[in-house]
Structure 1
Amino acid sequence: SYQISDGEKQLDGTWKFTIKFHYTDSTKASYFSTSNILVGPKKESNPQLPIYPNAEQKWCVIGIEH
């Protein structure tokens, strides 16, 4: 399962979201991890992960912090 924060607007206009993951393996052991993702306007150098593909301005995941 996972939980996503409300997001925090950054000084450069991008948004930072914290995602908390909870994993359980076949032995019932639990693992937790946290990652931050940065979402912002699509630029030519950004990866192709569209968030709102039909929007006038394309937004995408532009960074992942572990």
Structure 2
Amino acid sequence: MVEFITRMMQGRFDARPLGDALLWNRTGTFVSWREQLRRQRAGLDPLTGEPSPYADMYPVTEN
């Protein structure tokens, strides 16, 4: 299982084994939940930090 997860996170499969491109070959993209919340409150995409056109569509809540 460790080998599978490692290969998945590093994008070392010929095809996406899970069918979802969200985590595919995205090394070094961990963003803590606190930073994601800060970015979302600032109107930025929580994962990329880029301006988000959808920022005002979803209310920001703390869990």
Q: Identify the TM-score tier after normalising by the shorter chain.
A: under 0.3
Greater relative CO, 1 or 2 (CA 8 Å, sep 6+): 1
Point out the structure with the larger helix share. Answer: 2
* TM-score under structure 2 length normalisation: 0.21
TM-score by length of 1: 0.20
Higher strand share: 1
